[in-house]
Amino acid sequence: VSLITFTTDFGTRDWFVGTMKGVALGINARATIVDITHEIPSGDIRAGAFALAGSFQFFPTGTVHMAVVDPGVGSERKAIVVRTKSEFFVGPDNGVLSWALARTPAIAIHSVENPRYFLNPISRTFHGRDIFSPVAAHLSRGVAIHKFGPRVKHIEHLPWPKAEIKAHRVMGEVVYVDRFGNAITNIEAESVAAANQIKGKVFLRGKLLCSIASFYGSVRKGLPVAVFGSSGFLEIAVNGGNAARQFRIKAGASVAVKYR
C-alpha cells in the first residue's frame, strides 16, 4: 500500500489541493491519495486536530497522514514528521497532529529540514505544496524519517478539554459541530457505565435537553436526542434536523450527563 491522506484548510475552490496532488504523484506515481477534508475552517488548528484524530485509525497500516492547518506558514514554526506503531504523520508543529498522537503514541519525531525532499524553489506561503506534500510522498515510498531532519524531543500539544467524571454525572463540552449540525462533545462512551448510557439525561448549558438513545431515529422528527456517535463521543442531534442551529450550539458549550 502507498496511501496518503490530506487534511487541510485549503478548500477545494481553488487549485491548491490539485497542485499538492500533482507534486506528490510526481514523486510517487503509485500513491493513492485520500482527502479527509479540505474544509477545515481557515486556520482552525483544533478542528483540524479533531478531524485527524477521528479518522486516522480507519486507514491501513503504513498510511501517511498529512495535516496542514498552518496559520504560521512562513514564520519560525517547525515542520515535523512522526512515526507511530502503524502510521506516519506529517505537518506543522502547531498541535494539529497532537490529538491523533494522544491516541497512538509517537515512536519517533523528526524535524523536517532537508531541502532535498522539498520542491525547489519553495514559496513562502504554500508549504503544503512545497514541503509537506513532497515529504509525504517520499515517506510513502519508504524514505526513513531520520532522513528528513534531526530528532525532536518536544512538540506542541493542544490542550484537550477533558470531561470531568463525577458520581452520577459527567461534565463536558462541545468540541466540534459537524455539517449535519450534530454537536460532538468530549464525553466518551467509556466514561458512562454501559447500564447508564441509556438512562442518562443530557443537560445543555445547565438545562435538561434530552435523553441518551441508541440512534437518531428513536425520537420523533424535530426532537433532540443524544447518542454515542461514530467517533466514540456523545453527540447531540435533532432527528431530521440541525441541533447546532436549533439550539445555537457552538464549540465550548457545556454539556453534562446525569444518571442515577
Residues of the shown chain interacting with a copy of itself in the complex, contacts defined by CB under 8 A: 1, 3, 5, 7, 10-19, 21-23, 25-26, 29, 32, 34-39, 42-43, 51-52, 54-55, 58-60, 63, 71-75, 123-126, 129-130, 178-180, 214-218, 227-230, 235, 240
Residue 258 CA to residue 207 CA, distance in Å, equals 11
Which one, 71 or 115, has the nearer CB to a copy of itself?
A: 71
Which one, 60 or 159, has the nearer CB to a copy of itself?
A: 60
* Other Cβ atoms closer than 10 A to 131: 26
Which one, 32 or 205, has the nearer CB to a copy of itself?
A: 32
Nearest distance from C-beta of residue 115 to a copy of itself, angstroms: 17
The one-letter code for the residue type at 195 is: A
Nearest distance from C-beta of residue 219 to a copy of itself, angstroms: 12
Nearest distance from C-beta of residue 151 to a copy of itself, angstroms: 27
User: φ, ψ for residue 94 (rounded to 5)?
Assistant: -130, 15
Can you count the helices (H) and strands (E) in the chain? 6, 14
Residue 209 CA to residue 137 CA, distance in Å, equals 47
Nearest distance from C-beta of residue 102 to a copy of itself, angstroms: 16
Please state the three-class secondary structure of 57-115 as a single string: HHCCCCCEEEEECCCCCCCCCCEEEEEECCCEEEEECCCCCHHHHCCCCEEEEEECCCH
Question: Alpha helices of the chain — where are they, by DSSP H?
Answer: 16-27, 45-53, 98-101, 127, 133-140, 243-246
Which one, 13 or 153, has the nearer CB to a copy of itself?
A: 13
Please give the distance of CA 85 from its chain centroid, rounded to a whole number.
Answer: 18
Which one, 24 or 109, has the nearer CB to a copy of itself?
A: 24
Please give the distance of CA 124 from its chain centroid, rounded to a whole number.
Answer: 25
Please answer whether residues 100 and 52 qualify as being in contact, where contact means their C-beta atoms are separated by less than 8 angstroms.
yes
* Other Cβ atoms closer than 10 A to 120: 8
Which one, 55 or 108, has the nearer CB to a copy of itself?
A: 55
Nearest distance from C-beta of residue 204 to a copy of itself, angstroms: 19
Nearest distance from C-beta of residue 178 to a copy of itself, angstroms: 5
Nearest distance from C-beta of residue 80 to a copy of itself, angstroms: 18
Which one, 33 or 109, has the nearer CB to a copy of itself?
A: 33
